[in-house]
Structure 1
Amino acid sequence: MINTYRALLVAQIQAASAYRVQSILWMLFSVIRPVIFLAAWVAVANSQGGQIGAYDVRDFAAYYICLSLVSNLTMSWNAYDFEFEVRLGRLSPKLLRPLHPIHYSVVENLVWKLTTIVPLAIILVFISLTFDARFRTTPAHLMLFVPSVLLAAALAFFSGWVLATLAFWTTRVHAVSTFWDRAAFIFAGQIAPLALLPGPLQTISLALPFGYILGVPAEILRGGVSVPTALQLMAGQAIWVVVFYFAFQRVWRVGVRQYSAVGA
């Protein structure tokens, strides 16, 4: 398997180099939204004496910088790509190979993140200096952030694949994926830090998987939660990863049997 992944990595890096500009543009697009919300919250905070709840301008800057980094590290677009593979029959050749199609997506996601992390880091450092971001991060938070962001990436990946496999029945999952993304926009901590959401919305964000993908690892990296609270939130991440992993295994086995695209 190691040799297989090495070969896939080499092939994907070569493919990514041909679309380097496109990758950078996608990365910039992923940063624009957090920056817009950062500017909005800074304006609101300044109009209310410089503070909203436990956040001042520097805290908002730190949060949205962390959110941008987490968003880049956890982004997954499987549902959108898989729909076309099923509908156009492109999945058929992959099913004939000994390697599960999910491994190709793992490598594709990994390479995209590796090729965009450096320019993203430069942009985030510039934003941090511009807004004088204040991070409350301790060594313990940094140690917890690594497994937290890995759990968040796994959660985004497997939930994306569960949505993607709905294409076996509908052949079109774009509407479902868009609805999922819109829900994440509200509940994942993008429109506002989870701590500033109204009580019911905050409860929903942590009862559903959305908050564990972006808001939780972003707050851990910022140092916005205590270590015991971070551990509790990471337990929630782990539970949702397990749920979606087994859901994917089940839906995939049933879905492959239902696969009826042209060329299947």
Structure 2
Amino acid sequence: MKLGMSSYSFRPILADGSLTIEGLFDWLKANGAEHLEIATFSFAEAGKEPGYDLTAEEEIIERIEAAAARTGVPVSGLCMAANFIAPAERQAQIETVKRHVDLCKRLGAKFLRHDVVPWAYRLTDTAEFEREFPGIAAACREIADYAATQGVVTSVEDHGFFMNSSERLRRLLHAVDHPNFRLTVDVGNFLCVDDEPHVATRACLPHAGFVHVKDFYLRNFEPGPGWLKTYGGQYIRGSIFGFGDLDTHELLNSIVASGYDGFVSLEYEGGEPSLQGCEVGLVNLRRMLDEIRG
């Protein structure tokens, strides 16, 4: 496995200007990260995240290319927003995703994870899901087909509240039915829809093209501000990897046991300073994997 970071982990300090793109790659090299996965909105100006299109930011792209070449830290993939449930806008959304496929090829990244609905969109009822599902599957298939011609693997993640849960992800994978379409398996995000992380992770790992690891605190009541309410009414908050309520050691054991040997991105979204959370989490991730491998 190649262990690295998601740029999402550094979003607060990228947004306020205290960390530059060049400084990010320097940090990755200094801390032994083997790759960077780019969440595209990470480089948006504060408050301009919705609708952000990295493909339109030539200066930023050139800085990423230069920093990756200088440090030797490769870009492994891109993660981006997309929305396929508005028929009038669906084709435009598909074309935007295809442009990001092209950007992956330019950056030498082999993976693109795209959403299918806005992250915060919550399902109203089963009928809504069934109504939107065929259009979502068709859009994913068209993108996967195009990406195959560019040498880029596409995927959907257990992200948000709509296309989440191991069952829905595997159903989408079956409906798309394309060899170039995989899953990005995030061991923690299943909690957003109250899917048990260990069971859901093990169910999805055979279909993984990419893996995210993270940790959460989990409560059955609302402790106060800053906690995310899950679909079923629990509350979660990001933590340093290994500090939270997930059994991170056992989740990593499942990844190793599955035979997965691709890119692994650590995502940090806790309350401690970004660099502290990233550094301690990456150390913990390596230590746990070393213990598991013996």
If the length of structure 1 is used for normalisation, what is the TM-score?
A: 0.28
Larger fraction in helix: 1
Q: Which has the larger radius of gyration?
A: 1
Q: Which structure is richer in relative contact order (CA contacts within 8 A, separation 6 or more)?
A: 1
Bigger proportion of residues as strand:
2
TM (norm. structure 2) is 0.26
